[in-house]
Amino acid sequence: MTTLTQQEVERNMRAVAHAVAQQELEGLKVSEATIEDMRRDARGEIRSDEVIRNIYAQFQHAPILRH
C-alpha cells in the first residue's frame, strides 16, 4: 500500500473518471469491478499491476495478447 496525499488521491480519482469517460465515448463499457480496482489503485490501496491481473482474470475465456 502506498501512502498518498489527499491532493494526489483527488488527482488520481479524476484520472480514473476521465479514463472511464473516454472508454464510454468510444462506445465501450468498463466493468464495475475494474472501476473499483482503478479507484483502489488511485487511493494507493493496490498497485496497477494487480488491476491488470484482475482484468485478465475477468476475461480468461477470451484470447488476450500479453506483452
With 80 as the cut, is the pLDDT of residue 67 above it? no
Domain membership of residue 64 (yes or no) is: no
Query: Is the separation of the CB atoms in 37 and 51 below 8 Å?
Result: yes
Domain that holds residue 31: 6-58
Return the pLDDT at 66.
Answer: 66
Domain membership of residue 20 (yes or no) is: yes
With 90 as the cut, is the pLDDT of residue 33 above it? yes
Domain membership of residue 29 (yes or no) is: yes
In the predicted model, what is the mean pLDDT of the chain?
93
What is the pLDDT averaged over residues 25-51?
A: 97
By mean pLDDT, which of 15-19, 29-33, 39-43, 60-64 is the weakest?
A: 60-64
Helix (H, G, I), strand (E, B) or coil at 14: helix
Distances (CA, A) of 41 to 27, 61, 62, 64: 24, 25, 25, 22
CATH of residue 18's domain is 1.10.8.1050
Instruction: Kindly state the percentage of the chain with pLDDT values over 90.
Output: 81
Question: Biggest alpha carbon distance in the chain?
Answer: 39
What is the pLDDT averaged over residues 46-60?
A: 93
